[in-house]
Amino acid sequence: MNKFVISALAVAATASPLFAQVAENPVGSTMGKGLAVIGGGIAVLGGGIGIGLIGKGAVESIARQPEAAGKIGPNMILTAAFVEGATLFAVLAAFLAK
Fold held by 27-97: F1FO ATP Synthase (1.20.20)
Per-residue pLDDT tens over the stretch 85-95: 999 998 888 88
Tell me whether residue 84 is exposed, middle or buried, using C-beta atoms within 10 angstroms of its C-beta: 0 to 12, 13 to 18, 19 or more. Answer: middle
Residue ranges per structural domain of the chain:
27-97
Question: H-type helices in 1-98, by residue range?
Answer: 3-15, 17-24, 30-64, 69-97
- Mention every residue, 6+ apart, whose C-beta is less than 8 A from residue 55: 76, 80
Q: What is the pTM of this model?
A: 0.63
Report pLDDT digits (tens) over 36-92: 888 888 999 999 999 999 999 999 999 999 999 999 999 999 999 999 999 999 888
